[in-house]
A and B are shown apart, each in its own frame.
Chain A
Amino acid sequence: MTIMTYRQALHDTLRAEMLRDDSVFLMGEEIGVFEGSYKITAGLLKEFGPKRVRDTPIAEEGFAGAAIGAAMLGLRPVVEMMTINFSMLALDQIINHAAKIYGMFGGQASVPLVIRTPGGGGQQLGATHSQNIELFYAFVPGMKVVAPSSPADAKALLLAAIRDNDPVLFLENLALYNTKGEVPDTDDPSTGTPAEIGKAAVTRPGHDLTLIGYSRMAHVAAEVAARLAESDGLDIEVVDLRSLRPLDRETIVESVKKTHAAVVLEDDWLTYGIGAEVAASISDGAFDYLDAPVRRVAMAEVPMPYAKPLETAALPSRDDVINAIRQTLAAVGHRATPLAQGVPHS
């Protein structure tokens, strides 16, 4: 195990996979000479040359589509979209093509493509550069969408994504790049263990309430759970979704069956957001187990403002999460009392 940043884990994994497999190559804006807007690809151009670390023109639709076409012929392109906001320029290629080609042609060609891209607000980048639109991709059958929250998962899920034969949207987050965590060593490329796409993880076991998040908000969830354990003695279970498509409903529902209460955290907008799907899944699978309505903590439904106080107000904070937890637990207590008289809790 090595302690490293999320950024370093991504970098090392890309490098290891390029060493392991000649068909893996990188494409994107400013990933070579400039070494990446967020320096994930630093040093790789020097090591692998311009054929495998390919700087592209500013043409998201063009180079995303080119990566898809190259993948159809069996290469394993890893595309960097500078931010997820810019990926919207490539929606036609990703959604109408990458996600469709395997099915639309009766399984004759697959698209082993990874699109790495950071979401996230909080950097005063304003309305067009602070969005969390992973939902667009998670909505579409044929896509796989993963959203690691820790350096270890960043490595394990990136390994899985690169070795997968389907298009994978690999969601990163600006606020996570400098976070640190333990990561299995990568010196020998063959030793990395890929994560299983489509599986959530219970990152902290507990009994009082289930806190569900992904990407940055899974990180926030873990922090809040630790803080409330210390301050209030609360025993909160944290579920890190890790995969948005497929969504691991089983793990979510099993957790809620145990805790009887859930708060869902997301950086995207609330209405129609990822949390709505999680809440609906809980309703479907654990309706009879709930002691309080499922709460969602999401971004305010506005275009992200630039001014710092407004931006801060729009983004879900740790205090917002703590309030939602307290209110949910209060509701549980409120319902538990009369219920306990007639129907015994297990």
Chain B
Amino acid sequence: MPTQARQRRSAPQAPPGQGAADGDKTADGRPAADKTASPKPARRPAGKGRAASRASSESDGQLRAFYRDMLLIRRFEERAARAYTEALVGGYCHLNLGEEAAVVGLMAALKPTDYLFTNYREHGYALMRGIGPNRVMAELYGRADGVSKGWGGSMHMFDVTHRLLGGYGIVGGQLPLATGAALAIDYRDGDEVVMCTMGDGTTAIGAFHESLNIAALWNLPIVYVIINNGLGMGTTVAKSSAEPDLYKRGAAYRMESARVDGFDPVAVRDATAKAVEAARHGRPYLLEVVTERLRGHSVVDPAKYRTAEEVERLKHEDPIQLFGAKLTADGVLDQESIAAIEQEVAEIVAAAADFAAKSPHPAVSTLFDYTYATPVANDSRRLPGQPLFDPEPLPETATAATQATATQPTATQTTAPGAHA
């Protein structure tokens, strides 16, 4: 049900099938995985370095900035993991390790006015949306200066100013919400776009299909992004998705889709820019970013389900090393500049941890401040153990009797609560 306004802004709709066909190539033009192949993990073809592409128009400064941002996420996440093992961070803690190029590329294609909904693996996204590392780390520490004031923790970062409208801890929960945000933009005839990221495992959940269907029906300005790191906790894509080429799921909704190499920030940025542009014209888009999760599902997961070959392979699969090596070979970076970036990032992360440690814990007196946005009569503000009603004073005779014969009820005691008077 497109609104008139959306139709006006929209480019002519692609005829049925064309959008899906668009997905048959990866964003950098390489053919996608063979359709008839048995379900194998979506891995980049051997020998084609994920950090290999370099857009000729890309300035050295931009490339260095990408590298710096990737390294910031890496060092931030490593520091978060350390803080977790030191019990400074509680709950669950899911890291973006291995996904740095994907995060940096995706966020580089959004305008500050665009919205992001993401899942519980979101520290890097928060940083790249422009939220200060201090506030992100303080949220992990559960402190009052945290981005969600200590109410959300690792999985639930939110910042209106930077239009990060939530990390969400329930798999798939963010998809209908993001779709609704896009609906609100459309309703107001706005020019913003919503990006909604998710893991590969999310494509099996009902909310994924309901959301994509609704977005396509109503021509909503939204880009759905699948971060395919090959594993939903310990379950492979092949074991959880009957169509392991996840981007192809867009075809069921006549939604344009594509797959991109998630180790290459430039390729991701370019593929995302194309997707965002389509969405801005009322054509929702599904983008699959193929990447790796270098560690366990969360900090505490040793990932023992991985085979020895997989573990060995991952030793050579580090987007930062690959991108750094490529930029070094291209003369964009050298040892000195890499060391300078390391130094800068280390200082930022150390300062963030320091800030978080010094930030105050939220006051217990604020416990009931965020149940309702509109104050309401009879809102319960009781701590555990407090009675619903202040007990009325017992008659003196009853009190005396209770004290005298605590274990042996007397006639006085049984009849004493005649508080009707």
Chain A residues packing against B (C-beta within 8 Å): 25, 50-51, 54-57, 59, 61-75, 77, 92-93, 96-97, 101-112, 141-142, 144, 164-166, 196-199, 243, 246-250, 253, 260, 281, 284-285, 287-289, 339, 342-346
Q: Answer yes or no: B418 CB below 8 A from chain A CBs.
A: yes
Q: Answer yes or no: B39 CB below 8 A from chain A CBs.
A: no
Question: Contact between B210 and A59 (Cβ–Cβ < 8 Å)?
Answer: yes
Q: What are 11 A-B pairs with beta-carbon distances under 8 A?
A: A66-B211, A66-B214, A70-B180, A93-B176, A102-B371, A106-B150, A108-B148, A253-B389, A281-B388, A288-B417, A289-B420
Within 200-244 of B, Cβ neighbours of A (below 8 Å) are at: 206-207, 210-211, 213-214, 217
Question: Contact between B370 and A107 (Cβ–Cβ < 8 Å)?
Answer: yes
Smallest CB-CB separation from A200: which chain B residue?
B378
Question: Contact between A57 and B378 (Cβ–Cβ < 8 Å)?
Answer: no
Smallest CB-CB separation from B371: which chain A residue?
A141
Question: Contact between B173 and A284 (Cβ–Cβ < 8 Å)?
Answer: no
* Residue of A70, A196, A246 with most chain B CB atoms under a 10 A cut-off: A70
Question: Contact between A342 and B183 (Cβ–Cβ < 8 Å)?
Answer: no
Give Cα distance in the complex from A105 to B370, angstroms.
9
List the B side residues contacting A288 at CB < 8 Å: 392, 417-420
CB distance from A139 to the nearest CB of B (A): 12
Kindly state the interface size class of chain B when it binds its partner: 35 or more
Question: Contact between A110 and B388 (Cβ–Cβ < 8 Å)?
Answer: no
Top 8 closest pairs, chain A to chain B, by CB: A65-B176, A69-B180, A62-B210, A343-B418, A106-B149, A198-B377, A110-B373, A66-B180
A51 is contacted by which of B185, B187, B370, B374 (Cβ under 8 Å)?
Answer: B187
Q: A142-B371, A166-B373 are in contact. Are A105 and B156 (CB under 8 A)?
A: yes
List the A side residues contacting B152 at CB < 8 Å: 104-106
A105 is contacted by which of B148, B178, B387 (Cβ under 8 Å)?
Answer: B148
CB distance from A57 to the nearest CB of B (A): 6
Within 356-375 of B, Cβ neighbours of A (below 8 Å) are at: 369-374
Question: Contact between B372 and A285 (Cβ–Cβ < 8 Å)?
Answer: no
CB distance from A65 to the nearest CB of B (A): 2
Give Cα distance in the complex from A141 to B378, angstroms.
12
Q: A50-B1, A62-B176 are in contact. Are A70 and B211 (CB under 8 A)?
A: no
CB distance from B180 to the nearest CB of A (A): 2
A284 is contacted by which of B1, B185, B214, B389 (Cβ under 8 Å)?
Answer: B389
List the A side residues contacting B210 at CB < 8 Å: 57, 59, 61-63, 65
CB distance from A201 to the nearest CB of B (A): 12
Question: Contact between A165 and B373 (Cβ–Cβ < 8 Å)?
Answer: yes
Question: Contact between B206 and A61 (Cβ–Cβ < 8 Å)?
Answer: yes
A73 is contacted by which of B146, B156, B184, B421 (Cβ under 8 Å)?
Answer: B184
Q: Answer yes or no: B329 CB below 8 A from chain A CBs.
A: no
CB distance from A341 to the nearest CB of B (A): 9
Smallest CB-CB separation from A56: which chain B residue?
B214
Q: Answer yes or no: B84 CB below 8 A from chain A CBs.
A: no
Identify 11 new A-B residue pairs, CB closer than 8 A, beyond the known A92-B207, A108-B160, A260-B420.
A73-B184, A93-B176, A97-B177, A102-B371, A103-B151, A104-B156, A105-B166, A165-B372, A246-B379, A285-B388, A345-B421
Question: Contact between B380 and A246 (Cβ–Cβ < 8 Å)?
Answer: yes
Question: Contact between B419 and A107 (Cβ–Cβ < 8 Å)?
Answer: no
A63 is contacted by which of B214, B380, B421 (Cβ under 8 Å)?
Answer: B214
Question: Contact between B3 and A51 (Cβ–Cβ < 8 Å)?
Answer: yes
Question: Contact between A73 and B181 (Cβ–Cβ < 8 Å)?
Answer: yes
List the B side residues contacting A199 at CB < 8 Å: 377-378
Question: Contact between B158 and A71 (Cβ–Cβ < 8 Å)?
Answer: no
Within 335-386 of B, Cβ neighbours of A (below 8 Å) are at: 369-374, 376-380
List the B side residues contacting A61 at CB < 8 Å: 176, 206-207, 210
Q: Answer yes or no: B179 CB below 8 A from chain A CBs.
A: yes
Question: Contact between B165 and A62 (Cβ–Cβ < 8 Å)?
Answer: no
List the A side residues contacting B181 at CB < 8 Å: 69-70, 72-73
Question: Contact between B149 and A69 (Cβ–Cβ < 8 Å)?
Answer: no
Give Cα distance in the complex from A142 to B149, angstroms.
18
CB distance from A53 to the nearest CB of B (A): 10
Chain B residues packing against A (C-beta within 8 Å): 1, 3, 117, 146, 148-152, 156, 158-160, 165-166, 168, 170, 172-173, 175-185, 187, 206-207, 210-211, 213-214, 217, 369-374, 376-380, 387-389, 392, 415, 417-421
CB distance from A30 to the nearest CB of B (A): 14
Give Cα distance in the complex from A284 to B150, angstroms.
34
List the B side residues contacting A344 at CB < 8 Å: 418, 421
Question: Contact between A75 and B388 (Cβ–Cβ < 8 Å)?
Answer: no
Smallest CB-CB separation from A66: which chain B residue?
B180
List the A side residues contacting B187 at CB < 8 Å: 25, 51, 70, 75
Question: Contact between A342 and B151 (Cβ–Cβ < 8 Å)?
Answer: no
Smallest CB-CB separation from A25: which chain B residue?
B187
CB distance from B45 to the nearest CB of A (A): 36
Give Cα distance in the complex from A106 to B156, angstroms.
10
Smallest CB-CB separation from B153: which chain A residue?
A104
Question: Contact between B372 and A166 (Cβ–Cβ < 8 Å)?
Answer: yes
List the A side residues contacting B151 at CB < 8 Å: 103-107
List the A side residues contacting B370 at CB < 8 Å: 102-103, 106-107
Question: Contact between B371 and A66 (Cβ–Cβ < 8 Å)?
Answer: no
Give Cα distance in the complex from A236 to B144, angstroms.
52
Question: Contact between A59 and B213 (Cβ–Cβ < 8 Å)?
Answer: yes
Question: Contact between A64 and B378 (Cβ–Cβ < 8 Å)?
Answer: no
B387 is contacted by which of A106, A165, A284 (Cβ under 8 Å)?
Answer: A284
* Residue of B172, B210, B369 with most chain A CB atoms under a 10 A cut-off: B210
Question: Contact between A65 and B177 (Cβ–Cβ < 8 Å)?
Answer: yes
CB distance from B116 to the nearest CB of A (A): 13
Give Cα distance in the complex from A142 to B370, angstroms.
8
Question: Contact between B160 and A62 (Cβ–Cβ < 8 Å)?
Answer: no
CB distance from A78 to the nearest CB of B (A): 14
List the B side residues contacting A285 at CB < 8 Å: 388-389
Give Cα distance in the complex from A106 to B179, angstroms.
22
Give Cα distance in the complex from A328 to B168, angstroms.
50
Smallest CB-CB separation from B190: which chain A residue?
A73
Question: Contact between A105 and B158 (Cβ–Cβ < 8 Å)?
Answer: yes
Give Cα distance in the complex from A106 to B145, angstroms.
11
Q: A104-B152, A107-B370 are in contact. Are A196 and B377 (CB under 8 A)?
A: yes
Give Cα distance in the complex from A2 to B173, angstroms.
44
Question: Contact between A102 and B160 (Cβ–Cβ < 8 Å)?
Answer: no
CB distance from A191 to the nearest CB of B (A): 21
A69 is contacted by which of B1, B156, B177, B380 (Cβ under 8 Å)?
Answer: B177
Question: Contact between A289 and B373 (Cβ–Cβ < 8 Å)?
Answer: no
Q: A96-B170, A343-B415 are in contact. Are A69 and B377 (CB under 8 A)?
A: no
CB distance from A87 to the nearest CB of B (A): 14
List the B side residues contacting A64 at CB < 8 Å: 176
CB distance from B409 to the nearest CB of A (A): 15
Q: A59-B214, A92-B170, A104-B148 are in contact. Are A342 and B415 (CB under 8 A)?
A: yes
